[in-house]
Amino acid sequence: MKKKVVIGLSGGVDSSVAAYLLKEQGYEVEALFMQNWNDTVGLKSEECPFDEDVLFAQMVAKKLDIPFHFVDLSTEYRAQVIDYMFAEYEKGKTPNPDVLCNREIKFDVFLKKALELGADYVATGHYCQKETIVKDGKEIYRLIAGADNNKDQSYFLCQLSQEQLSKAMFPIGHIEKPEVRDIARAAKLASAEKKDSQGICFVGKVDLPVFLQQKLKAKKGKIIEILAHKASEIIPQSTALEDISQPYHFTAQMGKEVGTHNGAHFFTVGQRKGLDVGGKAEPLFVIGTDVVENIVYVGMGHEHPLLMRQALFIPTKDIHFIREDLRPSENCERRYDIRIRYRQPLQKGTIYFKEEGLYIHFDEPQRAVVAGQFAAWYQEGELIGSGVID
C-alpha cells in the first residue's frame, strides 16, 4: 500500500511544489489547509490574505487532483502562539512566533488532524532536510539545514522533538528556491508566481504596535540616548560568564532624553524604525528597554558598542535538545555553530553547560542579542538543540 502523506498546503509556491513532488514520488497525497487567523487588526494591507491563500491552495489541489481539506485552528493558534506573544512583549521580551507556531501548531495540533485523516506522515514546504540514522538499535532523526543557504528554515524548527520529526517530511529541503519556482512553472501550478508570505506566521505583515495594542496599552515614556563613550562604564570589566552573559543595565541618569515613545514593550533591541527622533548624524538604534520604568534606551550608529554582546544565558528549563542522545553532561563545554536569529550566518562559539543552565560565549561579539528569542546550535549542518535567551 502507498504511504499517505498529508501536506500542509498554504497556497504558497513552496508547499505547492512539495505536494507536487510527493505525488510524483508515488505517495498518496492529501492537502490540508489550516486557517490560524481571521483578524485583520494591525495588518498593513487591507486585502485579506486568508481568502487569497485558500483560493490558491484549492487551485493547486485541483490541478494535482488531490483531496482538499480545510481546518480552522484559530482558537488553538491564539491560545498557544498569540497569547504567548502578548505575554512575552509585556515582560519586555521579544518572542519568535514562527518557532512556536511550528512546535505548537504545525507539528502538534495540525499533525493530530492529519493523523485523523489516516496520514502516515505530514509534510510542509520548509527548506530543511531530515535524515534517519540507527544508533544502539534505535532510529534517530536528524534535522539538517536546507540545501539553499539563503532560504534554510531549520532555525524555525529548532524546538521540534524526535516524536514530531518521526512523522515529518520536507520534500523541497534538498533543492534551491529558483528551482522550486521552475518546477511550479513547469507543472503549471497557480502559485508559481505568487509572492512569498512575510511577517508573523499565519497572521501576515503587521504594524506591530497596532497589533499589540489589542492587549497592551499605549503608555507615553522617555527615549534616553546613551553615548558610545559611556559603554566602558556599563559593559562588565569581569570576564566571568555569569557577568558577561547578562543584558546591560541602564538608568536614565546615564544618558539624555531625546524623545518620547508610546510604550517600551513595543520596542526591541536593535530596532531602528519607529523612534521618530531626528537631527542625529547617524540613525538611532534601541540598545535596551525597561518596561517597569517605561524607558527606551537608544544609541547612535549601527556599531554602537552597547548593541554588542559577547555571551548569553539560557536557563535549564528553557533548554531543548532535538538530539537528546547528544545532550552533554553538566560542567562541560562544547564547540558549536550558533544562530540567534533567522537567516543569520552561523557564528562560532563555545557552550558551557552548568547546573543552572548554559552559557554561550561567541568567538566574536554579537549584535542585538534579544531576550525571548531562540538561540540554536548546530554541528556540521545538523541542528542539535535550542533555547530561549534570558
Q: Where are the beta strands (DSSP E) in the chain?
A: 4-8, 28-35, 68-72, 121-123, 128-135, 138-145, 168-169, 221-225, 256-261, 284-290, 295-300, 308-315, 319-321, 332-339, 347-353, 357-367, 374-379, 382-388
The single residue of 48, 128, 158, 201 carrying the catalytic annotation is 201
Asked whether the beta carbons of 259 and 275 are under 8 A apart, the reply is: yes
Residue 158 known to be catalytic: no
Q: Compute the half-sphere exposure of residue 277: CA atoms within 13 Å on the CB side of its CA.
A: 25
Strands 68-72 and 28-35: parallel
CA distance 14 to 226: 44
- Residue 283 neighbours by CB distance under 10 Å: 13
Burial class (CB in 10 A: 0-12, 13-18, 19+), 123: buried
- Buried-exposed string 342-353: b where 16+ CB fall within 10 A, e elsewhere: beeebbebbbbb
CA distance 113 to 109: 6
The single residue of 101, 128, 158, 332 carrying the catalytic annotation is 101
Q: In this structure, what C-alpha cell is assigned to residue 385?
A: 538543540
Q: In this structure, what C-alpha cell is assigned to residue 222?
A: 522617555
Non-local CB neighbours of 96 within 8 Å, separated by 6+ positions: 372, 373, 374
Residue 101 known to be catalytic: yes
Catalytic positions, written as ranges: 101, 201
